Amino acid sequence: MGEDGRAPISLDEGRVRLKHLRRDPRVTLTVLADDDWCTHVTLIGRVVELKDDEGLADVDRLSRHCTGNPYPDRVRPRVSAWIEVERRRGWGAMEDSDQPST
């Protein structure tokens, strides 16, 4: 997550999900650990900002953070989005929650 508590994501400009996000900004994003499918975290929130990723600078930043390399697909345009996280939940080694237990 960013310093402002928002989670940045990158979207292919040609995908229909971008159209859906513009209509309804609610999102759920789940990220799985690469070495243990039981370990994952889910973010629930809203996309609060969308902008064209000029020069693929934002997706490169995300890719370098995750892989150490720039984003490999330089052909398709990307859109940057920021998710304002309203709730989160982790499982396995990431077990943590901001939701009350039942």
Q: What is the pLDDT along the chain (102 residues), one digit of tens a residue?
A: 666 889 999 999 999 999 999 999 999 999 998 888 889 999 999 999 999 999 999 999 999 998 999 999 999 999 999 999 999 999 888 787 665 554
Q: Which CATH class is domain 6-88?
A: mainly beta
What pLDDT score does 29 carry? Answer: 94
What pLDDT score does 1 carry? Answer: 66
What pLDDT score does 56 carry? Answer: 97
Written in H, E and C, the secondary structure of the chain is CCCCCEEEEEEECCCHHHHHHHHCCEEEEEEEECCEEEEEEEEEEEEEEEEECHHHHHHHHHHHHHHCCCCCCCCCCEEEEEEEEEEEEEEHHHCEECCCCC
Q: What residue spans define the domains of the chain?
A: 6-88
What pLDDT score does 98 carry? Answer: 64
